[in-house]
Structure 1
Amino acid sequence: MSTTNSFPFQERELSEKEVLQLLSKLADVTDELARVIVGQREVVQQLLVAMLTGGHCLLEGAPGLAKTLMVSSLAKTLELDYKRIQFTPDLMPSDIIGTEILETDHDSGERFFKFKQGPVFTNILLADEINRTPPKTQAALLEAMQERTISYAGSIYPLPKPFFVLATQNPVEQSGTYALPEAQLDRFLMFVRVGYPSAEEEIEILARTTGTQQVTLNEVLHTQDILTLQGLVRQVDISGELLTYISELTRNTRPDSTCNQSVKDFVRWGAGPRAGQALVLCAKANALLNERFAVTLDDIQKVAHGVLRHRILLNFQAQAQNMDTDGVIDSLLKNTPLPNSPLTSNASSSRVG
Structure 2
Amino acid sequence: MVDMGTPVLHRNDLDYVKSVQDGVGRTMFGLEEVLRLLIVALYTGGHVLLEGNPGLGKTQLIKDLCANLGFDEKRWGRIQFTPDLMPADITGTKMPVDGDMGRFAFQPGPLFRWLLLADEINRATPKTQSAMLEAMAEGQVTVLGQTHKLRPPVPVTGMGDTLSVLPPFMVLATQNPIDQEGVFDLPEAQADRFMFKVRMPFPNAGTLGSIIDKVTGPPAAPAGPAATAAGKGWGEEDALRFFHRIGSAIRALDPPPVVKDHIVNIVLATNHRAAEAVGIDQRTQETLEKWSRHFVDYGAGPRAATAMMLGAKGWAGLFLGGVDHAGAALGRVAMPVLRHRLKLVFDWEHRFLEKAQGRYKPVPPGRDERHDALLAELVMLTAPTEAGYRDLIGQSLRAAGVALPER
Give the structure-1-normalised TM-score: 0.86
Q: Is the counterpart of residue 177 in structure 1 residue 183 in structure 2? A: yes
Retained in 2: the 8 A contact 1:314–1:325?
Answer: no
Instruction: Report which stretch shifted further, 241-250 or 151-160.
Output: 151-160
Aligned to 1:298: 328
SS at match of 1:268: strand
Instruction: Report which stretch shifted further, 307-316 or 111-120.
Output: 111-120
For 2:388 and 2:340, how far apart are their aligned partners in 1? 26
Q: Is the counterpart of residue 265 in structure 1 residue 298 in structure 2? A: no
Match of residue 382, structure 2, among 336, 340, 349:
336
SS at match of 1:252: helix
SS at match of 2:69: coil
Q: Is the counterpart of residue 253 in structure 1 residue 282 in structure 2? A: no
For 1:74 and 1:121, how far apart are their aligned partners in 2? 17
Q: Is the counterpart of residue 147 in structure 1 residue 138 in structure 2? A: yes
SS at match of 1:151: strand
For 1:15 and 1:240, how far apart are their aligned partners in 2? 20
For structure 2, which runs of at least 5 residues remain unmatched after alignment?
152-166, 276-285, 353-366, 390-407
Aligned to 1:126: 117
For structure 1, which runs of at least 5 residues remain unmatched after alignment?
1-9, 344-353
- State the shift of 1:295 in Å: 4.4
Match of residue 77, structure 2, among 73, 79, 83:
83
Aligned to 2:344: 314
For 2:274 and 2:262, how far apart are their aligned partners in 1? 15
Q: Percent identity?
A: 36
Retained in 2: the 8 A contact 1:275–1:311?
Answer: yes
Q: Is the counterpart of residue 63 in structure 1 residue 54 in structure 2? A: yes
Aligned to 1:235: 252
For 2:255 and 2:103, how far apart are their aligned partners in 1? 54
- State the shift of 1:263 in Å: 2.4
- State the shift of 1:218 in Å: 5.7
Retained in 1: the 8 A contact 2:92–2:108?
Answer: yes
Match of residue 200, structure 2, among 194, 197, 200:
194
Retained in 1: the 8 A contact 2:258–2:384?
Answer: no
User: 2:93 corresponds to which letter in structure 1?
Assistant: T
Give the structure-2-normalised TM-score: 0.75
Q: Deviations over 1:306-349 (max 9, x none)?
A: 11111101121215557754233111122123252678xxxxxx
Question: Relative contact order: is structure 1 or structure 2 higher (C-alpha 8 Å, sep ≥ 6)?
Answer: 1
SS at match of 1:100: strand
Retained in 2: the 8 A contact 1:245–1:339?
Answer: no
For 2:193 and 2:301, how far apart are their aligned partners in 1? 12
Q: Deviations over 1:60-109 (max 9, x none)?
A: 01112112211111111123311111111211110111111233797xxx
User: 1:242 corresponds to which letter in structure 2?
Assistant: V
- State the shift of 1:154 in Å: 2.7
The structure 1 segments of at least 4 consecutive aligned residues displaced by more than 6 Å after TM superposition are none
Report the aligned-residue RMSD.
2.4
